[in-house]
């Protein structure tokens, strides 16, 4: 049975209407050097920032993993964000085995 919480407490705990959603992305890379990875990462950061998103993660020239969510407090990534970012990675010839999750609760890890 779920507890009844005040709106103020829900906000503090990022619950209910204040839940923030994000998604996980991982892939294998076939890049030649760490400089190539650095360039790819710079381009990816520019893409997510243009969509008002942030990420935590990283990798190297062989693999990359990140969790992506909104840059705004109480904001969320969207299905459109997932689609745009997935398409961007799929268009890169050096990307293999791309996996993108559905939206999950960014604070508690619960699926949307």
Buried b (16+ CB within 10 A) or exposed e, 55-70: beeebebeebebbbbb
Reported confidence tier of residue 2, pLDDT bands at 50, 70, 90:
low
> CA–CA separation, 59 vs 26, rounded Å?
9
Q: Which alpha helices (DSSP H) does 18-59 contain, by range?
A: 34-50
Question: What are the sequence ranges of the domains in the chain?
Answer: 21-102
Best CA proximity match to 64, nearest among 111, 15, 25: 25
- pTM comes to 0.88
What pLDDT does 3 receive? 74
Cα 103 to Cα 60: distance, rounded to the nearest angstrom: 25
d(CA 54, CA 52): 7
- Average pLDDT of every residue of the chain: 92
Q: Residue 4's pLDDT is what?
A: 84
Segment 82-88 shows an average pLDDT of 97
Q: Is the pLDDT of residue 111 over 90?
A: no
At the topology level of CATH, where does 21-102 sit? Alpha-Beta Plaits (3.30.70)
């Amino acid at each position: 049975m779920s507890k009844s919480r005040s709106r103020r407490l829900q906000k503090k705990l990022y619950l209910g209407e204040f839940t923030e959603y994000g998604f996980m992305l991982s892939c294998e890379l076939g890049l030649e050097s760490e400089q190539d990875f650095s360039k790819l990462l710079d381009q990816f950061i520019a893409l997510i920032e243009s969509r008002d998103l942030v990420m935590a993660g990283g990798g190297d020239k062989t693999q990359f993993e990140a969790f992506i969510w909104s840059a705004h407090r109480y904001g969320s990534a969207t299905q459109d964000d997932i689609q745009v970012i997935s398409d961007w990675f799929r268009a890169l010839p050096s990307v293999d085995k791309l996996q993108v999750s559905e939206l999950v609760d960014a604070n508690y890890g619960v699926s949307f």
